[in-house]
Amino acid sequence: MGSHGIRGLTFTILSFLWLISMESCFSQVDQQDPQVPGFFIFGDSLVDNGNNNGILSLARANYAPYGIDFPEGASGRFNNGLTMVDVLAQLLGLPNLIPPYARTRGPALLRGANFASGASGIRDETGNNLGAHVSMNQQVANFARVVQQMRRAFRRDDNAMSAYLSKCIFYCGLGSNDYLNNYFMTSFYATSRQYTPAAYAASLLQDYSRQLTQLYQLGARKIVVTAVGGIGCIPYQLARVNPRNRTANSQCNEDINKAIYIFNAGLLNLVKSFNNGRLPGAQFVYLNVIESAKDLVINGAAYGFEVFDKGCCGVGRNNGEITCLPLQRPCPDRSKYLFWDAFHPTEAANIILGKKAFSSNSATDVYPMNIQKLAML
């Protein structure tokens, strides 16, 4: 190649690099700096974003109309668009939504990973009626593998890695399936015959405490845990509720809701014990999503909601007997519905719940602080 050719090639390369740097500068102006270096998510179908796509399970959502309002379409999220953790990732200023662990490897893991799996629970057998899933025990084990990969990235400098992880936020949302797809599914599980509601909640909390402690031992310090929502009022239960389980003021299955309140009260006490020195250096935040969701119902008109007792998509009474069928046409205006299908809230509901979790100063929504303040610690 002659000198003119070399100079031309050099100019082309430098011009290309300059354009990339300018594009990067402009994009940085448009984007806020991340408030945390990483975001790690553990949970069930309320926050699963694709981990179940490649496993043999009935708990999958990688088909239309799921994702109808999501840019990537049917990604495996169990609603029409963003999940609550997607909203939180945006509010935390992260450059991208957190990817599913199933397809995340290498340096990308430093930004975080979503380990959640539809149908999963605190107990290993929870969700077996729906096929394969990744239980919380396995999700924690998967994170342990990530920590080993991080050690290599930090050149085995455990102090540097610990400092990094202490700044990340860990989100844990489990428990719903331990009731829906375990305790109250009496035809498949024996737990309701083995435990009273109080004894079952105590057993779940003992297991959950161990799992959260394992995350702490692996480096987690800023940990968000969510209450179980009012699953006695979801379309799936409204379609099945026995009239004797209703009250004069509620069409919900109050037997289920009473059991949930026992668990949630115990979970709040567990958070208080962790914060009071049981796990030194840790800060836990409790998201009282059952009360936050009540506000969406009581003040529904102010939020733009009109339909609270049926899914936007589904089959049967309350659109709650079966989840969305492939290629089924959902309701035309998802913003007016609290529920997307028999189990899961719409993107519109997730946006409000995410904002409450992030910035609410009400102890009704968050305790002892919101996620924005947690990120600043």
| Residue of 117, 344, 360, 365 with catalytic role | 344
Question: Which residues, at least 6 apart from 215, have a Cβ–Cβ distance to it below 8 Å?
Answer: 42, 140, 143, 170, 172, 223
- Note whether residue 54 is domain-resident: yes
Block residue for tokens 């939020």: 303
Question: What pLDDT score does 247 carry?
Answer: 66
- Note whether residue 26 is domain-resident: no
Instruction: Please check the confidence at residue 34 and state whether its pLDDT lies above 70.
Output: yes
- CATH (domain of 59): 3.40.50.1110
| Residue of 135, 341, 360, 365 with catalytic role | 341
Question: What pLDDT score does 207 carry?
Answer: 99
Alpha helices in 131-195 (DSSP H): 136-153, 158-167, 176-178, 191-194
Average pLDDT across the chain, whole number: 92
- Note whether residue 268 is domain-resident: yes
Instruction: Find the domain containing 137 and state its range.
Output: 36-376
- Residue 368 and residue 377 in contact, taking contact as beta carbons nearer than 8 Å: no
Strand pairing class (337-339; 112-114): unpaired
pLDDT tens string 251-302: 899 999 999 999 999 999 999 999 999 999 999 999 999 999 999 999 999 9
320 against 13, higher pLDDT:
320
- Note whether residue 175 is domain-resident: yes
- Note whether residue 157 is domain-resident: yes
pLDDT tens string 103-146: 999 999 999 999 999 999 999 999 999 999 999 999 999 999 99
Q: Does the active-site annotation cover 45?
A: yes
pLDDT tens string 317-354: 999 999 999 999 999 999 999 999 999 999 999 999 99
| Residue of 45, 117, 120, 209 with catalytic role | 45
- Residue 344 and residue 45 in contact, taking contact as beta carbons nearer than 8 Å: yes
pLDDT band at 248 (very low <50, low <70, confident <90, very high): low
Classified as helix, coil or strand, 199 is helix
Question: What pLDDT score does 195 carry?
Answer: 99
pLDDT tens string 217-226: 999 999 999 9
- Note whether residue 356 is domain-resident: yes
Instruction: Please check the confidence at residue 12 and state whether its pLDDT lies above 90.
Output: no
pTM for the predicted model, two decimal places: 0.90
Q: 340 is written with which tokens?
A: 């997307």
Instruction: Please check the confidence at residue 196 and state whether its pLDDT lies above 70.
Output: yes
- Note whether residue 31 is domain-resident: no
- Note whether residue 320 is domain-resident: yes
Percent of the chain with pLDDT strictly greater than 70:
90
What is the mean pLDDT of the segment spanning 143-157? 94
Question: What pLDDT score does 154 carry?
Answer: 94
Instruction: Please check the confidence at residue 13 and state whether its pLDDT lies above 70.
Output: no
Q: Give me the DSSP letters along 307-335.
A: EEEEESS-BSGGG-SB-PPTT----S-GG
Q: Does the active-site annotation cover 4?
A: no
Q: Does the active-site annotation cover 344?
A: yes
What is the mean pLDDT of the segment spanning 40-57? 98
pLDDT tens string 162-190: 999 999 999 999 999 999 999 999 999 99
- Structural domain count of the chain: 1
